[in-house]
Amino acid sequence: MKNWLILFTLISTQVFSQTKPLQQVNTPRDEQAPFISPDGKMLFLTVANHPDNVGGTKDPGDIWIALRTPDGWTAPVHGGTVLNNRGYNAVAGLSRSGNELFLLNHYTTTGEPATTQGIAVSMRSSTGWTHPKNLTIPYFRNKSDHFSGQWHEDLQAFVFAAESYNTLGAEDLYITFYLEGRWSEPIHLGNLVNTEFQEMSPSLSRDGRQLFFASNGRRGGSGSFDIYMSERLDDTWKNWSIPVNMGPSINTDGRELYFRKFDDAQIALYTSTSNSDGYGDIRIFQENLPEVQRVDTLLKITERKRTYQDTVKLVRIFGKVTDAKAGNGIPARITFRSDASYEVTASASGSYSLQIPSTRIYSIEVDNKGYINLAERLDIHTFELAALEMNFKLQAIAVGATVNLKSVLFAQGTTELLDESYPELNVVVDFLNANPRVEIELEGHTDNRGDRVKNVLLSQQRVDRIKSYLVSKGVSAKRIRGKGYGGSRPVASNDTEEARKLNRRVEFRILKN
């Protein structure tokens, strides 16, 4: 299907409508992130530091809900403890059916703020909203305390602001797509939209062509943050028209954020600190957007369905698998796991090559019957890397063979396993299940700092924790011994931090085959 793309520039014009605050919805607190349900009957908003929030006046924001009546909006009520916790909670979007509520940030079962970031989804049930399920976006990262964005159902996309990879300064704008059953890696929206300062609270028009956002990084703004609009020029999501200030009917000497245009209701909502109680208040208006002046430059483009592969950059991984003792090449199955699995079989000489998406964290398993499974971790995040060599050495299954579990890590001074430990522990489970006659001894080691007796005790407790995990996965406890050695068996000096890191390790040794 052919189409014509019109290149244009935007010229700011007057926005011809009066804005007014939603008096019955606004409170003496800070209102943020307004969102109207597709049927126009519910208004979700975030209220910060309210005494009725889950975390009280120290809570950065809970979701509240107002209802539309013939007389206008009701006063908002707290959204409950299912949608809210002590962290920041806000609505990113609601499906047109009204059954899927997309939420900013991740959730835990304890009600405490999650240690991971991203978005979550809650489903409508007969008894209310279900506990939010965390969604995994490959290589999502946000170093900022601020997180905002919009779920766009028609595009199956999430546009968001974060201080992440490739940011020009502080928060920048990104988009990720839900395609073919998985999320794409976030796309940076480019250097014309993003500045070295802060871009926040993005949203898209219904057709996905207009981008609205707040920025404090552009000349001629009215206050700390103003609302801007830009139009998308192509399907790369990196080429945009020069953003235009939305004008004095919206922007003031205060702070304007969270502009969201609701086409079905023919209204737009945003927050402003101007003429308010000093915090953000929600304002509403029937808007006429800035006019677009187009120039007569036409480019023919081809429209096509966007696929997951359009958003992925690939890197070629190659290398060789060898016998650790003899040094000769050996065949093996190599699996790279992230949000999906990528598998290749090394040839009889040990050589292999495959392409995988870059900008991800992978757990790698190298498997050959007769050898101890090898687990590795690969953390790459670059669009420039074209190829990477990775060579693997496998140990034959033999009594006395020792394997260092390099990715099995604990929170400092505790027996709490870090999340990145489980892929390698699962490889150990696979190895023991595939070799039911093998018995092992787990060995825990520390560096020489601190009290010697406490180090021995901690290393023993960590070994016991690992054994418990292996047993929970179906491995017989009779096949696993465990001993903590503290700092008595160093493999390097303890003179530098790098050397001490080598001494802090967990290993297993084959006792019987």
- 7 pLDDT above the threshold of 60: no
C-beta separation of 139 from 124 below 8 A: no
d(CA 97, CA 43): 16
Strands (E), 380-479: 387-389, 392-394, 402-404, 439-445
Task: Please check whether residue 308 lies inside any domain of the structure.
Answer: no
Task: Please check whether residue 222 lies inside any domain of the structure.
Answer: yes
**Domain check: are 387 and 266 in the same one?**
no
Q: How many domains does the chain have?
A: 3
Strands (E), 96-225: 100-104, 119-125, 128-129, 133-135, 148-152, 157-162, 172-179, 182-183, 187-188, 199-204, 210-215
Considering Cα of 8, then 12, then 17, then 23, what sign does the dihedral take? positive
C-beta separation of 169 from 150 below 8 A: no
| Whole-Å CA distances, 497 to 447, 449, 487, 503 | 10, 11, 14, 10
**Banded pLDDT at 421 (limits 50, 70, 90):** confident
**Domain check: are 417 and 371 in the same one?**
no
Task: Please check whether residue 92 lies inside any domain of the structure.
Answer: yes
Q: Looking at residue 12, what is its pLDDT?
A: 41
What mean pLDDT is predicted for residues 199-212?
92
**Domain check: are 427 and 448 in the same one?**
yes
Q: Looking at residue 275, what is its pLDDT?
A: 62
**Banded pLDDT at 298 (limits 50, 70, 90):** very low
Task: Please check whether residue 303 lies inside any domain of the structure.
Answer: no
- 299 pLDDT above the threshold of 70: no
Indicate the range of 336-350, 365-379, 498-512 predicted with least confidence.
Answer: 498-512
The CATH number given to whatever domain includes residue 337 is 2.60.40.1120
Question: pLDDT digit string (tens) for 230-277?
Answer: 999 888 898 899 999 988 888 888 888 999 887 654 677 888 887 655
**Domain check: are 118 and 17 in the same one?**
yes
d(CA 332, CA 375): 13
| Whole-Å CA distances, 264 to 36, 288, 300 | 10, 15, 31
- 301 pLDDT above the threshold of 70: no
Of 415, 422, 513, 506, the C-alpha closest to 470 is 422
Q: Looking at residue 15, what is its pLDDT?
A: 40
Strands (E), 330-408: 332-337, 341-346, 351-357, 361-367, 374-379, 387-389, 392-394, 402-404
**Residue after which a domain boundary falls, among 360, 376, 395:** 395
- 288 pLDDT above the threshold of 60: no
Of 286, 257, 259, 230, the C-alpha closest to 35 is 259
C-beta separation of 475 from 430 below 8 A: no
Higher per-residue pLDDT: 228 or 180: 228
d(CA 416, CA 419): 9
Contacts of 210-219 with C-beta under 8 Å, sequence gap 24+, read 210/261, 210/289, 211/159, 211/173, 211/240, 212/246, 212/259, 212/260, 212/261, 213/161, 213/173, 213/243, 213/259, 214/256, 214/257, 214/258, 214/259, 215/243, 217/169, 218/243, 218/245
Question: pLDDT digit string (tens) for 469-483?
Answer: 999 999 999 999 999
**Domain check: are 182 and 329 in the same one?**
no
**Domain check: are 27 and 138 in the same one?**
yes
**Residue after which a domain boundary falls, among 395, 427, 462:** 395
The CATH number given to whatever domain includes residue 466 is 3.30.1330.60
Question: pLDDT digit string (tens) for 97-146?
Answer: 889 999 999 998 887 778 788 999 999 988 889 999 999 888 888 888 89
Burial-class residue 476 by CB neighbours within 10 Å (0-12, 13-18, 19+): exposed
* Domain ranges, residue 460: 397-513
What mean pLDDT is predicted for residues 142-171?
89
**Residue after which a domain boundary falls, among 370, 395, 420:** 395
d(CA 213, CA 234): 19
Task: Please check whether residue 503 lies inside any domain of the structure.
Answer: yes
Question: pLDDT digit string (tens) for 42-81?
Answer: 999 999 999 999 999 999 999 999 998 888 889 999 999 9
Q: Looking at residue 312, what is its pLDDT?
A: 66
**Domain check: are 471 and 497 in the same one?**
yes
C-beta separation of 245 from 11 below 8 A: no
C-beta separation of 10 from 229 below 8 A: yes
Q: For strand 157-162 and strand 172-179, is the pairing parallel, antiparallel, or unpaired? A: antiparallel
Q: Which two tokens stand for residue 501?
A: 């890191």
What mean pLDDT is predicted for residues 344-372?
89
Q: Looking at residue 89, what is its pLDDT?
A: 95
Q: Looking at residue 294, what is its pLDDT?
A: 38
Q: Looking at residue 305, what is its pLDDT?
A: 59
**Domain check: are 282 and 422 in the same one?**
no
**Domain check: are 277 and 383 in the same one?**
no
Q: Looking at residue 276, what is its pLDDT?
A: 53
- 27 pLDDT above the threshold of 90: no
- 459 pLDDT above the threshold of 60: yes
Q: Looking at residue 73, what is its pLDDT?
A: 87
- 166 pLDDT above the threshold of 80: no
Strands (E), 180-303: 182-183, 187-188, 199-204, 210-215, 226-231, 244-245, 256-262, 267-272, 281-285, 292-302
Q: Which two tokens stand for residue 481?
A: 């011994």
Does the predicted model carry a pTM greater than 0.85? no
**Domain check: are 340 and 431 in the same one?**
no
Q: Tell me what the pLDDT averaged over the chain comes to.
A: 84
Indicate the range of 116-130, 178-192, 196-210, 495-509 predicted with least confidence.
Answer: 495-509
Q: Looking at residue 72, what is its pLDDT?
A: 85
Task: Please check whether residue 299 lies inside any domain of the structure.
Answer: no
C-beta separation of 417 from 405 below 8 A: no
> Residue type for 4, please?
W
Task: Please check whether residue 300 lies inside any domain of the structure.
Answer: no
| Helix intervals (H) in 222-322 | none
Provide the β-strand partners of residue 187.
Answer: 175
What percentage of the chain carries pLDDT values higher than 70? 87
**Domain check: are 407 and 372 in the same one?**
no
How many residues would you count in the chain? 513
Task: Please check whether residue 305 lies inside any domain of the structure.
Answer: no
**Domain check: are 208 and 339 in the same one?**
no
Element at 76 (helix H, strand E): none
Question: pLDDT digit string (tens) for 81-101?
Answer: 999 999 999 999 999 888 999
Burial 202-241 (b: 16+ CB within 10 A, else e): bbbbeebebbbbbbbbeeebbeebbbbbbbbbeeebbebb
Element at 315 (helix H, strand E): strand 314-323
Of 58, 66, 137, the C-alpha closest to 104 is 137
Q: Looking at residue 377, what is its pLDDT?
A: 85
Beta carbons within 8 Å of 478's beta carbon, 6+ residues apart: 439
Burial-class residue 121 by CB neighbours within 10 Å (0-12, 13-18, 19+): middle
- 23 pLDDT above the threshold of 90: no
